[in-house]
Amino acid sequence: MYQIEEPTYFLYLTIIPVIFVLFLLVFWWKKRKQKQFADIGLINKLSPERSTFKSFVKIISLCLGLAFLVISLTNPKMGTKLETVKREGVDIVFALDVSKSMLAEDIAPSRLDKAKQIITRIIEKLGSDRVGIIIYAGNSYPLLPITTDHAAAKMFLQNATPDMVSSQGTAINEAIERAISYFDNEEQTNRFLFIVSDGEDHEENTVSLAKEAKEQGIKTYTIGVGTEKGGPIPIKDNGSVIGYKKDNKGEVVITRMVEKVLMDVANEGNGKYINGNKTQETVDIIGDLLLNAEKSEFETKKFADYKDQFQWFVGLGLLFLLLDVLMLEKKTKWIQNLNLFNQTEKNEK
């Protein structure tokens, strides 16, 4: 397992293509001036030992040398052993509604983007807690199993779109049902399910499933995004709105947030309904909730004893730079003696 200590130094790699482009420009300028000075035959007689191939080998060696030295500055490290670590925290599962109605922009930038912002900000405030993500529309799908890798959770979250779910709708019941089997630690006493949705177009048995989750020790909280006034569902092409979703009569569909459904689910699930239209307020409420929750101890594995590996890259960098310094821009004698293309005879003729 590798770890990069100072990734900001990777920015210095941008100097390498600049050096290579400058080399090509100078090479082209020299060729142009040589043609103005004399024809190619005369130039070959005046400098028979010059090698274009070696010029390119030298610049490639220089670029590789600099690249390895830059990588060494980032101080890459490698974990040498896997050890078990004990942590304290709670298990949290986010069920994100990715139905088409979540694309409505009655809440800027959109309901779905607002939901992602809220979940991301909550994850950033977590300590040793484990987190998992479920996405749902007409069906539910596991996006990320429960893990302590919060960076991975945020990465997977940003990629969640309505296209990832084949059927449309708002199957909160399926999300709850999947969440019940999602928690994999039976000893964990504090399990939280956060459903982030507009509550529209739900199934009938949603509330009863929330009650079943409560019996399994899962506290279900709901976060509503959207407005009661609602808005149309945009249809986009390359990021630009080209129209709005219409019903069978050709009229623009207006989607509205249904708070009552979300409130009922939270009440039956031993949780609370939170209006998520104000991001910071929502994050603060949930942050305080999780901070005051009783923590359970659990075990997790991680790589330890990370050792510096920069010396290998320094060595490779110096080797390529030394190759660049020692290599002359002249043809190698033994290759020249091979006379593969009978150049001597052609010049004599």
Per-residue pLDDT of 156-207, as tens digits, reads: 999 899 888 877 777 788 889 999 888 876 666 688 999 999 988 666 678 8
* CB distance 182 to 94 below 8 Å: no
What's the average model confidence in pLDDT over 119-141? 91
Q: Do residue 132 and residue 24 come from a single domain?
A: no
Burial (CB < 10 A; 0-12, 13-18, 19+), residue 329, is middle
Same domain, 128 and 258: yes
Number of neighbouring beta carbons within 10 Å of residue 187:
7
Candidates 221, 346, 317; CA nearest to 275 is: 221
58 and 142 belong to one structural domain: no
Q: Is residue 85 part of a domain?
A: no
* pLDDT in the model for residue 188: 65
Task: Identify whether 263 is part of a domain.
Answer: yes
Q: State the Cα–Cα distance between residues 103 and 137, nearest whole angstrom.
A: 12
Q: Is residue 62 part of a domain?
A: yes
Give the domain extent around 26: 2-78+308-348
Among candidates 222, 242, 226, which has minimal Cα distance to 234? 242
- Residue 99 shares a structural domain with residue 244: yes
Distance in angstroms (rounded) separating the CA atoms of residues 338 and 70: 39
Pairing of strands 140-147, 130-136: antiparallel
Residue 302 lies in a domain: no
Residue 23 lies in a domain: yes
State both tokens at 109. 């930038």
pTM of structure: 0.63
pLDDT digits (tens, 9 = 90+) for 40-92: 666 666 565 666 777 888 899 999 999 999 999 988 887 665 566 666 788 89
Within this chain, do residues 21 and 100 fall inside the same structural domain, yes or no?
no
Q: Supply 223's token pair.
A: 């976060």
